[in-house]
Amino acid sequence: MEKISSILQKSIIHQKQNNIISDMDGETVMMSIANGKYYNLGTIGGMIWSKLIDPITFEELIDDLTAEFDIDRKVCESHVISFLDSLHEENLIVLK
Protein backbone atom coordinates (compact mmCIF):
# COMPACT_ATOMS: atom_id res chain seq x y z
CA MET A 1 0.00 0.00 0.00
CA GLU A 2 1.34 3.47 -0.88
CA LYS A 3 2.49 5.60 2.06
CA ILE A 4 0.41 8.71 2.75
CA SER A 5 3.60 10.78 2.89
CA SER A 6 3.84 10.32 -0.88
CA ILE A 7 0.31 11.67 -1.37
CA LEU A 8 -0.25 15.38 -2.05
CA GLN A 9 -1.34 17.59 0.84
CA LYS A 10 -4.59 18.35 -1.00
CA SER A 11 -5.68 14.71 -0.65
CA ILE A 12 -9.00 14.21 1.08
CA ILE A 13 -8.94 11.90 4.10
CA HIS A 14 -11.82 10.33 6.00
CA GLN A 15 -12.65 7.37 8.23
CA LYS A 16 -13.73 4.05 6.81
CA GLN A 17 -17.09 2.80 8.06
CA ASN A 18 -17.80 -0.09 10.42
CA ASN A 19 -15.52 0.58 13.37
CA ILE A 20 -16.61 0.41 16.97
CA ILE A 21 -15.24 3.37 18.95
CA SER A 22 -15.13 3.81 22.72
CA ASP A 23 -13.58 6.17 25.25
CA MET A 24 -11.54 4.53 28.00
CA ASP A 25 -10.28 7.01 30.58
CA GLY A 26 -9.84 9.76 27.97
CA GLU A 27 -8.21 7.56 25.34
CA THR A 28 -9.98 6.45 22.18
CA VAL A 29 -10.03 2.73 21.52
CA MET A 30 -11.43 1.15 18.40
CA MET A 31 -12.26 -2.24 17.01
CA SER A 32 -12.24 -2.69 13.27
CA ILE A 33 -15.08 -4.97 12.25
CA ALA A 34 -13.40 -5.46 8.85
CA ASN A 35 -10.15 -6.88 10.20
CA GLY A 36 -11.14 -7.87 13.76
CA LYS A 37 -8.30 -5.89 15.37
CA TYR A 38 -8.32 -3.56 18.36
CA TYR A 39 -6.49 -0.22 18.32
CA ASN A 40 -5.65 2.25 21.08
CA LEU A 41 -5.57 5.63 19.35
CA GLY A 42 -4.72 7.48 22.55
CA THR A 43 -5.91 10.96 23.39
CA ILE A 44 -4.47 12.97 20.50
CA GLY A 45 -5.01 10.13 18.03
CA GLY A 46 -8.65 10.05 19.11
CA MET A 47 -8.94 13.77 18.46
CA ILE A 48 -7.46 13.33 15.00
CA TRP A 49 -9.77 10.37 14.37
CA SER A 50 -12.81 12.48 15.27
CA LYS A 51 -11.70 15.12 12.73
CA LEU A 52 -11.78 12.42 10.03
CA ILE A 53 -15.50 11.72 10.41
CA ASP A 54 -16.17 14.10 7.55
CA PRO A 55 -13.78 14.32 4.59
CA ILE A 56 -10.94 16.77 5.26
CA THR A 57 -7.75 17.66 3.45
CA PHE A 58 -4.40 17.03 5.09
CA GLU A 59 -3.77 20.77 5.02
CA GLU A 60 -7.09 21.50 6.79
CA LEU A 61 -6.33 18.84 9.39
CA ILE A 62 -2.94 20.39 10.14
CA ASP A 63 -4.53 23.88 10.25
CA ASP A 64 -7.06 22.62 12.83
CA LEU A 65 -4.43 20.94 14.99
CA THR A 66 -1.96 23.84 14.96
CA ALA A 67 -4.79 26.23 15.87
CA GLU A 68 -5.81 23.94 18.74
CA PHE A 69 -2.34 23.09 20.07
CA ASP A 70 0.86 25.06 20.56
CA ILE A 71 2.96 23.05 18.09
CA ASP A 72 5.26 23.90 15.21
CA ARG A 73 3.56 23.19 11.88
CA LYS A 74 6.39 21.00 10.51
CA VAL A 75 6.53 18.95 13.72
CA CYS A 76 2.75 18.54 13.62
CA GLU A 77 2.86 17.45 9.96
CA SER A 78 5.54 14.89 10.71
CA HIS A 79 3.62 13.34 13.61
CA VAL A 80 0.29 13.37 11.77
CA ILE A 81 1.81 11.79 8.65
CA SER A 82 3.20 8.98 10.81
CA PHE A 83 -0.18 8.46 12.49
CA LEU A 84 -2.09 8.55 9.18
CA ASP A 85 0.44 6.15 7.62
CA SER A 86 -0.42 3.67 10.38
CA LEU A 87 -4.16 4.11 9.87
CA HIS A 88 -3.75 3.78 6.11
CA GLU A 89 -1.65 0.61 6.42
CA GLU A 90 -4.40 -0.90 8.60
CA ASN A 91 -7.02 0.09 5.99
CA LEU A 92 -8.89 2.32 8.47
CA ILE A 93 -8.99 5.52 6.40
CA VAL A 94 -9.85 6.48 2.83
CA LEU A 95 -7.58 8.76 0.79
CA LYS A 96 -8.80 10.50 -2.35
CATH of the domain at 8: 3.90.930
Domains held by the chain: number: 1
Q: pLDDT tens digits, residue range 66-81?
A: 999 999 999 999 999 9
- Alpha carbons within 13 angstroms on the beta-carbon side of residue 22 total 7
Q: Which domain holds residue 83?
A: 4-95
Mean pLDDT computed over 9-29:
90
Per-residue confidence (pLDDT) for residue 4, from 0 to 100: 55
pTM of the model: 0.87
